[in-house]
Copies of this chain bind each other. A is one copy, B any other.
Amino acid sequence: MISNIKRTLIGLPLHSNEASHERLSNFQALAILSSDALSSVAYATEEILLVLVVAPLMLDLSWPISIAISVLLFVVSISYYQTIHAYPTGGGAYRVCSENLGTVPSLVAGASLLTDYILTVAVSISAGVAAIVSAFPELLPWRVPMALLAILIVTIINLRGVKESGRVFALPTYFFICMMYLLIIVGLIDWFMVGDIPRPVTHLPETVDELTRLGMFILVLRAFASGCTAMTGVEAISDGVSIFKSPEAHNAGKTLLGMAALLVSMFLGITFLANHLGLVPGGHETIVSQLARIVFGTGVLYYTTQAATALILFLAANTSYSDFPRLAMWMAKDSFLPRQLTNVGDRLVYNNGIVALGVFAAGLVVFYQADTHGLVPLYAVGVFISFTLNQAGMVRRWFKLKTPNWKLSATINGLGAITTGIVLVVIASSKFTHGAWIILLLIPAQVMAFRAIYKHYMELNNQLSLDKDWPPEVTRHTVIIPVAGIHRGIVKAVNYGKMLNGDLYAITVDIVPEQTDALCKRWTEIFPDVRLMVLPSPYRSVVDPLVDFMDEYVKEEGDYVTVLVPEFVPAKWWHHLLHNQMARILRWRMLYARRNWPGRYRIISEVPFYLAR
């Protein structure tokens, strides 16, 4: 039954030969790799305004803050442009760091990237739901279930295995770009005709008097930090160089710059209009929705804008579903994450990574009640950690390789590293109490976990190595059958046990003396050639006396004891609830009871008895 559900949702398994690699044109690649970056236009302006709204007179500062972020974006883009040319097969921060900066920085980069992929899903889905709720406010109470449903759908789609088919994915991205430009252009024309619409200041909390100059400065820094979420996803193109047509680096570089231009123009356009058309953040309607309502009126164009916004945000979440499992797989291959993450599933995708991402993102959505604003302070920290480490790694690389023009390249990447490093400190300190502390705790915790996992795998290799003493040959073999009653399942076990090459004993634990006596009497009638031993058990435990008994028969290396555990296999799942589970408990306790070394030569053999119905 479970298997049928799985088949319906996920599809039939794919043949290993069906793995394929499609190359994409720049036009298609832009759509696929940039949805994360471009979609941040939907919330970045709002995040800046939400910080400034406590002092309404400062709302206009959002314009210079946006310009600063745009400049920063170009610096980072040029830095990544160089990364693309240096790593034409794809150079994420984890790889750049592990090659150039050593293990710990690469683990820090890995931790911050994994965290950010999870946050990308949570933030994008929450923002997408916010776009829908802005258009249909009656859906407000269903925000969290809607977000969880969206995560579930994206997870299932990815478990089915999405061929990164450029044509399908290009649609939502370009649809969004068109709607945003239309919105900005019509908005600018409106503004040109009508002029500034002042904000309805009376409705706002007016606390500017109480703000000191220092307070204002901190507020600006915080707004800047919030706005930096516009930069998330910029690294995606440098991770995905391998999907471009040849010459990969050249095409990817061009696409990166094009993406930066699109992002900056849309971000500045929205921020400009939000300021001059008097929009106020807060409530349950997003800034983009308010803007579209003013510019287009609440008609077809408005709903189209909201649909385009929701669509690109869900698509942005989708990109994390290829990045997270891929990075997790690389880290698992390096023994820093559980090896299961390298398994390729039925549909040729890393399904364990996909499920893990879905579960973590769903947890965040529930915890933050699908509130974008609550998640954003966590978001930018990790992004800037990986930006900084990536650029620093590149600087180190130029110094090592000393290729032609390496000084210029090192200067560019160095500038990128310093800028993003400073921004990282600004974000981490100004947002510390708003949630950034969680990330600053989580990343070292992850690094410690990665190292513990690595240590375990190394220790495992050592213990399993054939260079050490080999396990001894079997010198003495005892076979025991625990018996609680006599039935056909026991007959099967006795038949099987007699054939095994060892001394056979049946064993019963004496819980109810009358029953034990009856059992002994019947046993000698039915199996006169197999000895039944009775173990006392004053505390009614079945397992402890058995384990003690077995340990007695294992005195030296080479002594093996096989326990034959007769087990009913019911025909219906709910019948499992009706059996004593003694076989299960016995098996579990026997396998994991580690009293002393002889325990190492216990073998647990399950003799199934299949029930017909």
Closest to A544 in B: B13
Q: For the complex, is A20 an interface residue (Cβ under 8 Å from B)? A: no
Q: For the complex, is A495 an interface residue (Cβ under 8 Å from B)? A: yes
Chain B residues in 8 Å Cβ range of A610: 594, 599-600
Given contacts A600-B608, A603-B607, whether A538 and B17 have CB atoms under 8 Å apart is: yes
Q: For the complex, is A194 an interface residue (Cβ under 8 Å from B)? A: no
Which of A101-109, A338-346, A386-394 lies on the face that meets chain B? A338-346
Report the minimal beta-carbon distance from A448 to chain B, rounded to whole angstroms: 13
Chain A interface mostly: mixed
Report the minimal beta-carbon distance from A97 to chain B, rounded to whole angstroms: 23
Chain B residues in 8 Å Cβ range of A162: none
Which of A267-275, A362-370, A464-472 lies on the face that meets chain B? A464-472
Complex Cα distance, B538 from A405, in Å, reads 50
Report the minimal beta-carbon distance from A486 to chain B, rounded to whole angstroms: 7
Complex Cα distance, B591 from A14, in Å, reads 26
Report the minimal beta-carbon distance from A73 to chain B, rounded to whole angstroms: 39
Within 415-467 of A, Cβ neighbours of B (below 8 Å) are at: 453, 456-457, 459-460, 463-466
Complex Cα distance, B491 from A320, in Å, reads 42
Closest to A606 in B: B604
Which of A111-119, A171-179, A575-583 lies on the face that meets chain B? A575-583
Q: For the complex, is A314 an interface residue (Cβ under 8 Å from B)? A: no
Q: For the complex, is A5 an interface residue (Cβ under 8 Å from B)? A: no
Q: For the complex, is A605 an interface residue (Cβ under 8 Å from B)? A: yes
Closest to A572 in B: B456
Q: For the complex, is A407 an interface residue (Cβ under 8 Å from B)? A: no
- A sample of 25 inter-chain contacts (CB < 8 A) reads A13-B540, A14-B539, A16-B538, A17-B538, A339-B578, A339-B579, A339-B580, A340-B580, A343-B580, A453-B578, A459-B613, A470-B488, A471-B488, A471-B492, A472-B495, A473-B499, A474-B495, A500-B501, A562-B605, A569-B592, A591-B606, A600-B610, A602-B608, A603-B608, A606-B606
Q: A16 contacts which of B14, B338, B539 (Cβ < 8 Å)?
A: B539
Q: For the complex, is A136 an interface residue (Cβ under 8 Å from B)? A: no
Within 163-198 of A, Cβ neighbours of B (below 8 Å) are at: none
Interface string of A510-542 (1 = CB under 8 A from B): 000000000000000010000000000011110
Within 545-570 of A, Cβ neighbours of B (below 8 Å) are at: 560, 562, 567-569
Closest to A608 in B: B591
Report the minimal beta-carbon distance from A606 to chain B, rounded to whole angstroms: 5
Q: For the complex, is A15 an interface residue (Cβ under 8 Å from B)? A: yes
Complex Cα distance, B496 from A65, in Å, reads 72
Q: For the complex, is A1 an interface residue (Cβ under 8 Å from B)? A: no
Closest to A17 in B: B538
Q: For the complex, is A487 an interface residue (Cβ under 8 Å from B)? A: yes
Complex Cα distance, B606 from A526, in Å, reads 29
Report the minimal beta-carbon distance from A514 to chain B, rounded to whole angstroms: 13
Report the minimal beta-carbon distance from A484 to chain B, rounded to whole angstroms: 11
Q: For the complex, is A278 an interface residue (Cβ under 8 Å from B)? A: no
Q: For the complex, is A477 an interface residue (Cβ under 8 Å from B)? A: yes
Interface string of A329-364 (1 = CB under 8 A from B): 000000000111001111000000000000000000
Complex Cα distance, B569 from A338, in Å, reads 16
Q: A468-B488, A569-B592 are in contact. List 7 more A-B contacts (CB 8 A).
A: A338-B577, A346-B541, A459-B611, A463-B611, A470-B491, A496-B603, A591-B606
